[in-house]
Amino acid sequence: MNKDRPFDVALESWLDDGPTTAPAGLDREIQDQLTGRRQDRRPFRTTRRFLMSTRMAGAAAAVVAALVIAGGAYWLGGQGNQSPIGSDGSPTPQATITAQASPSPCPPTAGGPCAVPSQLPTAVPVTDLCLPSDVSARITRWEGATGHRIATVELTNVGSSTCQWPTLDQPQLVDGSGAILIAGAAAPVGDVLNLAPGEVLTTLVQDANYCRQDPVAPVTVAFVMPGGTGRVVAAPVSSTDLDGVPPCNGAAGSPGDIEMHPWSR
Amino acid sequence: MERDLVLAASGGSREAFGSLVSASIDRCYALAFRMLRDPELARDAVQGALLGAWEDLPSLRDPDRFDAWLTRLVVNACYAEARRERRWSAKLRLIPMDQPNTPDTALSIADRDELDRAFARLPIDQRAVVVLHHYLGLSLADVATTLDIPAGTARSRLHHAIRQLRAAIEADARPTTFTEDRPA
């Protein structure tokens, strides 16, 4: 290092030496994704907060009821060692409707086809959600990046009525045999988009690090809806397509990674 | 002008927000790149930050604080990208081979390489303070406000970061070699 120059100045010179403009197209890409994104998500946050508060209220009520019952039993000279919470002391019916993240339905292995088990109920109003038979998904293209593969996916409402589609699902990379090559994280309960008949949503699914046995063509992606209301498998680009299989960047057998952007119009 | 755009965007105008994106995207990318030192991660961070900004803009109480607020979103997005990046056991490092190889009298290539390596070893929260202070030129008080951390924490992070970077440069007896980091 040039010793006659202060370290801070050298550091700032090093920091200055880098791009000062965003990559071409990023501005457009972001603005395109704004379409269909809503700003105000307070109703959903309110719902979640409400569910949390009712759970906490239920727990508090149970504690109060237990204290009252225990105190009453003690006061009346009942057995002090009886269970403080009687059958009527657990007023927590709300617990049956709490929102819970769906567990990953399948391990990220390249075994045989993995059935998606039924999942827990969620706060999403199920009656408004699209059924898998209401929609059709297809991959329009795969792109490669450093260690990643990115699918552009379209989802169309092929039903006859407007329904709601969650902005996030659990993405999976699946092969022609139905095996789940990589399973993403279960989607949290969150926003939904209204999807009119014929309307199309798009998303990007990015996967990386597939270090297991060779998959069977064609490789495509699937989406497990929050709340276990269904799973949609996107039509592959072609019947022989293997472009979505990412390179192995880790140790043999190490788990892969798959994520999706929120669906947008 | 920007205040009007922020107010309009906060009210739901995508056009106004688009103008804000166009005006700020270069600054956001420059910041994200310097924190993450990876063009793809920086791109993802900027995208996540700006889309998050659109969704959360109604929660911004003072439109005059938009720039600082957006800076914090970018930094937080960089934290998220860095956490994601750590999951990978191996990651090819990009070296900008197409940049002109201009001589620099202040920093030798060896020094730059040492800084690259040392900076990559810093925790992401220390990198944030270094970049905000030495690249964006924010005072430590403004860095603390932007990151929503106590001023003492900002000072401490900067101190530790600079000490490590300086130590890396001063212990630069190692020969210059790019080979182990070159993409395959």
Identify the structural domains of chain B with CATH numbers, from first to last: 1-94 (1.10.1740.10), 98-175 (1.10.10.10)
pLDDT at site B23: 94
Residues of chain B positioned with their CB less than 8 A from the CB of A27: 21-22, 25
Q: Where are the domains of chain A?
A: 42-97, 126-260
Q: What is the pLDDT of residue B106?
A: 52
Residue of B nearest to A6 (CA): B106
Do B58 and A39 lie within an 8 Å CB cutoff?
Answer: yes
| Residue A211 to chain B, least CA–CA distance (Å) | 13
Over residues A127-133, the mean pLDDT reads 80
pLDDT in tens, A231-240: 999 999 999 9
Mutation target to probe the B interface, by most B beta carbons within 10 A, among A2, A5, A21, A30 is A30
Among candidate residues A166, A105, A179, the one with its CA nearest the CA of residue A135: A166
Structure confidence at residue A67 as a pLDDT band (50, 70, 90)? low
- Residue B129: which of B115, B113, B150 has the closest Cα? B150
To the nearest whole Å, the CA of B148 is away from the closest chain A CA by 23
What is the per-residue pLDDT for A66? 59
In which band, very low, low, confident or very high, does the pLDDT at A250 lie, cut at 50, 70 and 90?
Answer: confident
Question: Under DSSP, is residue A12 helix (H, G, I), strand (E, B) or coil?
Answer: helix
Tell me which of B25, B73, B140 to substitute to probe the interface with A (most A C-beta atoms closer than 10 Å): B25
Averaged pLDDT for residues A228-254: 86
Is the Cβ–Cβ distance between A205 and A150 less than 8 Å?
yes
Q: Are B45 and A39 in contact (CB under 8 A)?
A: no
A127 vs B19, which has greater pLDDT?
B19
pLDDT of A122 above 80: no
Q: Indicate left, alpha or beta for B132 from its phi (over 0: left) and psi (-120 to 50: alpha).
A: alpha
Give the count of beta carbons closer than 10 Å to the beta carbon of residue A2: 12
User: Which one has a higher pLDDT value, B111 or A263?
Assistant: A263
Query: A188-227, pLDDT tens digit by residue?
Result: 777 888 898 899 999 999 998 898 888 999 999 999 988 7
CA dihedral B140, B142, B146, B147 (to 10 degrees): 20
Q: Which CATH number fits domain A126-260: 2.60.120, 1.10.575, 2.60.40, 1.10.10?
A: 2.60.40
From A22, A31, A254, residue closest to B89, measured CB to CB: A254
Q: What is the pLDDT of residues B84-126, one digit of tens each?
A: 765 443 333 443 434 444 444 456 677 778 888 889 889 999 9
> Looking at residue B142, what is its pLDDT?
92
Write out chain A residues lying below 8 Å of B134, CB-based: 8, 11-12, 15
Tens digit of each residue's pLDDT (9 = 90 or more) over B18-63? 999 999 999 999 999 999 999 999 999 999 999 999 988 988 888 8
State residue A2's pLDDT score. Answer: 45
List helix spans (H) across A146-260: none
Whether A68 shows a pLDDT value over 70: the answer reads no
Q: Which among A3, A27, A28 is the top mutation candidate for probing chain B, defined by the most B β-carbons within 10 Å of its own β-carbon?
A: A27
Enter the ipTM.
Answer: 0.76
φ and ψ of B116, to 5 deg: -55, -50
Identify the pLDDT of residue B22: 93
* Rounded CA separation A131/A133 (Å): 5
Asked whether the beta carbons of B73 and B24 are under 8 A apart, the reply is: no
Q: Give the whole-angstrom CA distance, residue A149 versus residue A172.
A: 13
SS3 A165: strand
Residues in Cβ contact with A127 at an 8 Å cutoff, skipping those fewer than 6 apart: none
